[in-house]
């Protein structure tokens, strides 16, 4: 029947699998949050619409935080894995350490900020500078993490380009007829693989750079408009959704 074809359609199953993950739900909420932020700037002349969109933006923002609660543990674990990996490129290792430390601190402070918004922590009662400035400190840690991620992207691109150049040089070297055909086929496959790696790193670099713009604005390093910040966050959210969608596995 028609409804059975719809219910059991592979894409419907994929949507269900995607929304069944915490990362999928959080990324979807992030997309809507930055969309409302962008629209609020565009409709800033209408005070009623502006207040409505700002309210939605706040509610989505606070709804995302429990989905990320204790996520700093994941980055602490990743940090120790990186520190134990002595075979990794030294520069990549250093950049990855910076990234994991930044993200671990950012998500920890994000939890503190959530408790503040819920009223479980009071700035005056705690008398803690960390609690009082959890928001701005969080943006700084996020920027540190993104700096490590961007440097890591650039380092990986340098390594991949060097590797690709060496493969291209080897493929043009003279060889026997039969051996040459086999070698060229294998080299072409490797070159295609490296091209995919380059595209992935370039995509990640763009995403991290746009997120860094949002983080720098949160740190008051730059003074970007709400429209610019909203658009940058919207683009990175869509890019993140696309990557998550590709990696979503549908159970049999």
Question: Tell me, what's the pLDDT at 226?
Answer: 95
Q: Which residues contact 8 (CB under 8 A, 6 or more apart)?
A: none
- What is the dihedral sign for C-alpha 194, 200, 206, 209? negative
- What is the dihedral sign for C-alpha 202, 205, 211, 214? negative
* Digit-coded pLDDT (tens) for 204-235: 999 999 999 999 999 999 999 999 999 999 99
CA distances from 226 to 217, 229, 245 (A): 9, 5, 28
CB atoms under 10 Å from CB of 223, counted, come to: 8
H-only helix segments in the chain: 2-7, 10-19, 22-42, 47-68, 72-84, 90-118, 123-126, 129-132, 134-171, 177-218, 226-247
Instruction: Quickly state the pLDDT bin for 1 (edges 50, 70, 90).
Output: low
Q: Which residues contact 25 (CB under 8 A, 6 or more apart)?
A: 19, 67
The length of the chain is 252
Q: Which residues contact 95 (CB under 8 A, 6 or more apart)?
A: 148, 149, 151, 152, 155
Q: Which residues contact 86 (CB under 8 A, 6 or more apart)?
A: none
What is the pTM assigned to this prediction?
0.89
**Two structure tokens written together for 52:** 């409505």
CA distance 208 to 229: 14
Instruction: Quickly state the pLDDT bin for 10 (edges 50, 70, 90).
Output: confident
Mean pLDDT of the chain: 89
Q: Which residues of 47-68 are buried (b: 16+ CB within 10 A; e: fewer)?
A: eeebeebeebbeebbeebbeeb
CA distance 59 to 65: 10
* Digit-coded pLDDT (tens) for 97-142: 999 999 999 999 999 999 998 888 876 666 788 888 999 999 999 9
CA distance 172 to 183: 10
- Cβ atoms of residues 50 and 43 within 8 Å: yes
């Amino acid at each position: 029947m028609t409804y059975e074809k719809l219910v059991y359609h592979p894409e419907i199953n994929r949507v269900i699998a995607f929304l069944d993950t915490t990362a999928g739900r959080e990324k979807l909420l992030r997309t809507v949050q930055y969309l409302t932020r962008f629209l609020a700037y565009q409709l800033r002349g209408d005070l009623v619409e502006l207040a409505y969109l700002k309210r939605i933006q706040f509610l989505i923002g606070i709804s995302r935080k429990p989905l990320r609660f204790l996520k700093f543990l994941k980055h602490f674990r990743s940090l120790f894995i990186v520190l134990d990996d002595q075979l990794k490129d030294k520069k990549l290792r250093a950049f990855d350490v910076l990234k994991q430390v930044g993200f671990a601190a950012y998500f920890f402070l994000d939890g503190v900020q959530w408790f503040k918004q819920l009223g479980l922590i009071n700035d005056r009662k705690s008398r803690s500078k960390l609690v009082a400035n959890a928001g701005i400190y969080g943006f700084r840690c996020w920027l540190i993490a993104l700096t490590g991620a961007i440097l890591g992207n650039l380092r990986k691109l340098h390594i991949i380009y060097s590797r690709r150049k060496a493969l291209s040089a080897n493929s043009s070297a003279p060889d026997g007829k039969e051996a040459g055909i086999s070698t060229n086929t294998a080299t072409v496959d490797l070159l295609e693989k490296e091209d995919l790696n380059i595209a992935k790193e370039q995509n990640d670099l763009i995403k991290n750079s746009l997120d860094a713009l949002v983080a720098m604005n949160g740190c008051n390093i730059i003074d970007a408009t709400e429209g610019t910040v909203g658009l940058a966050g919207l683009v990175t959210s869509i890019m993140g959704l696309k990557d998550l969608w590709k990696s979503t596995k549908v159970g049999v």
